[in-house]
Amino acid sequence: MFRILITLINYEAAERRELVHGGRYKSREAAWKDAQKMAYIHKNAVGTVTHECMVKVIEVKAWLISSAEK
């Protein structure tokens, strides 16, 4: 079982948030395909990076998912 770990970074406010996407994937490839659609980098008019969304595919044991959601 695979899930997507999303890291949102706001460089202007020096804030960083991490969350796990709610979707569950049976293969790493399927998770990676969806993860690539979520990733982005935003630059301002000067070309400085202001916001970024980084993604990472993580493997999760099925028993961890079911016990955490109870």
pLDDT tens over the chain, length 70 residues: 999 999 999 999 999 999 999 899 999 999 999 999 999 999 999 999 999 999 999 998 865 555 555 4
Closest CA to 34 of 9, 59, 69, 2: 2
Structure tokens at 34: 């969806």
| Contact predicate 27/2, CB 8 Å | yes
Can you tell me the distance from the alpha carbon of 46 to that of 4, in angstroms, rounded to the nearest whole number? Answer: 31
Q: Looking at this protein, which amino acid is placed at residue 19?
A: L
Question: Would you kindly state where each structural domain of the chain is located, as residue ranges?
Answer: 2-68
Predicted pLDDT of residue 8:
98
Predicted pLDDT of residue 61:
80
